[in-house]
Structure 1
Amino acid sequence: MIKRLFDVTASFFGLLLLSPIIALLAWAVRRKLGSPVLFRQVRPGLKGVPFEMLKFRTMRDAVDSQGNPLPDAERLTSFGSFLRSSSLDELPGLWNVLKGDMSLVGPRPLLVEYLPLYSAEQARRHDVKPGITGWAQVNGRNAISWEQKFQYDNWYVDNQSFWLDLKIIALTLKKVFIREGINAAGEATMTKFTGGAKTRKLAILGAGGHSRVVADTAECCGWSEIEFFDDDWPSTQQVGIWNVTGNTADLLGRLNEFGGVIVAIGNNEIRSAKMGTLNDAGAPLISLIHPAATISRYASLGEGVVAFGGVVVNTGATVSAGTILNTGCSVDHDCYLGECVHLSPGARLAGSVRVGHLSWIGIGASVRQSINIGSKVVVGAGAAVVSDIADELTVAGVPAKVLAD
C-alpha cells in the first residue's frame, strides 16, 4: 500500500512538474524523428499480464530493399542516443505508473516473446510489478549479461522494501547523470535474450584449487554447465570433475557462447590483468554469491566478486570489482575494499576499514576499526592490525609489524 501510494504521488507530481519538458521533448521527437512521437509496445507486467508500455520514440523508420527494418545501430540517431543515455525517453512511462501498470521501481518490462524462454527461476521477476528503474539498472543497466540481470531482478523480488526503492531511485539519478551502462559492449541496444539454456553456461578462467571452489559455488548458484579455461592448457586437462577446454585466447574467441564469465585466479595481480583483458573484449563478467553468504542489501559489490560460504558483508560496505571474499571472512559496516583484494578464510575487518587495491589479508587476520591499509599490502595469517599500513608493505604478528624484508 505504501509503495502504491508513493508511486501514485510521485508519478502524478512528476507528470505535472515535468509537463513543459515532456511537451518540448514531444515536439523535438516529432521534428527529428517524425510521427508517431510515442513508442508503444505490449510488455508483460505483474504475473505476466500484458500492458501497453509508453516511451518516447528514439529510432527512425528505415528498412532494407526487402522492407525489413535495418539493425538498431543504423536506425538509432544521435538524438535518439541522447534520449536513451539521459533516460528522458522513459518520461512517458510515468503514465504507466499512474495507471498502475508499472511501478517506479521494479524489474524492467521485457519483450512478450521472451516469456516462453524463461526458466522457472528467471520467471520470478514477474512476481512484482515492472518498474521504470530497478536493481539491475543501478548495477550495470544494459552493460551486464542477461544472467546477471535476472539475478539482480530476483534479488529485488526477495528483498524489496520502501527504503530499498528510495536507494534505487537515488542511484538511478547518479547513473543517469554519468550515463553509465547504457548499452551492452559493442551493441547499440541490449542484445536479445535467446533462452535460459544458453545463459546457464559459465566460463571459468583459471584451473587451480581456488577455481574448484568457485565452480562449486557456481553450481550452488544454479549454473548448470561449467567450462574451464587456463593458460596451461593443453597440459592441464581437468579441474576436479570439470574439463579444461582452452586458454585465454580460446575463451576470447567464444565469449558469445556463455551467459557469464568469471576469473578464478587467487593471485591478485594476475586476476586483475585477466579481468582487464576480458573487460576490453566485452566479456559478460559476473559475480558469484554463495547461498550461505550474508550480504547486506545496503552493501555494494562490483563485477567479478566471489563470496564463498559463511561470508558476511554488512551495511554500507563497498567491495570493488574482482575481490575474493573467502570462506567465513567478514566485512563490517562502511568498509571499502579496492579492486582485486583478497580476504582469506576467517579474515575479519571491523567497521570503516579501507583496503587498497591488490592487497591480501591473510587467514584469520583481524583489522581494527577505522584502519587504512594501502595498496599491494600483504597482511600475514593471524595478524592483528591496529595501525595504518602504507602501500606495498608486508606485515605480520600481534600487533602487526612491518617485516624487515
Structure 2
Amino acid sequence: MIQACQPAAEENGQANTTVSDAPSCSSGMPARYASQPDSAATTAKEVSHEGMVWIDGGTFSMGASDAEGRPDEYPQHQVKVSGFWMDATEVTNAEFAAFVEATGYVTTAERAPDWEELKKQLPPGTPKPPDSVLVAASLVFTPPQQQVPLNNPGQWWNWKKHANWRQPQGPGSSIKGREEYPVVHVSWHDAVAYARWAGKRLPTEAEWEYAARGGTQNKRYPWGDEDIEAGKPKANTWQGRFPDRNTTWDKHAGLAQVKSFAPNKYGLYDMAGNVWEWCSDWYAADYYGTASTAPALNPVGPTSSHDPQEPGMPKRVLRGGSFMCHSSYCKGYRVTSRMKSSPDTGLENTGFRCVSSK
C-alpha cells in the first residue's frame, strides 16, 4: 500500500484516523537495501559557510502548545541546543548535481531493488515479484481528476519507473531551467551522503524546530500565528481542495524555486512548505513522552525507530511540510509537525538542508 502524509488532527489533539488507515510518508514498501548505500566516494571536503546562516544556541519549548497537533507532537518539553550553521535554503538541484559530478554517486531511486535483500525483510515464502517490478523507481505526485476520499494516498501517488532527481516526473521530464529548485526524490541515505561530502551533516529534529521557530516561542508557524492563507502567500502549500484542485493562490502548482517566499527571522527560507526535509533522528511516536523535566542538551532522538502504524519498518524524521500540505489533510507546515518515512524512500515532495557545528 502506498502511503503519504497523515491527515490533520482534530482540535482535541487526537488524530482523526485509526491505526489501520492512518497514512504516513512511507512508501508502504519494504526497504530496498539492508544497509546504507556505499558512500566511500563521498569523503568530506572542508566545510564552507557560504549560503549558511549562523544560529545562536538557546533553550526552547519543543513540541505543540496548542490543540492542533497530532499525538506525536506532545508533550511539549524543554530542549537546549548549541549554536550551529544551517543552510539558508533547501539543497538545490545545482548543488546536488555538483556532488554527483564530483563523486559519481548514484541515488537510491536510480538503483534497481535487490531481491536478495528485499526477501530478508519479508515473510518466509513470499514469492519473487516479476522482474518488471524490480526496477529503479520513485513516488510521483499524480493529482486525480475528481474529488476522492482522503484515506487512500495511492489515489494520488504513483510509483513511477525511472523517476529520480534528474527526472522528477519520470522519463521525459528534467531539471533543466530548474537549477535553483530544491532537489527531490532523495532518500535519507542520499541526503547523508551529500552532507558528508559537503563537510556538513543533517540537522537533528531539535535543531530543525529551533531554527524554524526563528527565535519565537509557542508560535504555530515560522512567521507567527497568522493563518497561512491570510494576507500575502507565506509558503508554498496547497490551496483549494486537496488533492484534485489547487487554486495556486501562492503562484505555485508544484515545487517553487528556493527563496520564493520571505525568510523567517533567522534568515532561513522555506522552513514551511515546498519540500519535506530529512532530519538525522530515528522516528519514535512516543519519543516526546520519554523527555525529562530538565532541558535536554543537544538531543539526537531515540536510539531506534518505532512507528505503531508500521512497526516492522524503521523510519527517520522529516520536518517542514511540502507543496502538497493543506489544512484539510496535512498541516505539515506547522512548526511542530512531525513526519516519518523509511530511509530509502524518495518522493517528489522530499528534500533536505544541512547544518554544521564547525
TM-score by length of 2: 0.24
**Structure number with higher strand proportion:** 1
| Structure with higher RCO (Cα < 8 A, 6+ apart) | 2
Which structure would you say has the larger Rg?
Answer: 1
**Structure number with higher helix proportion:** 1
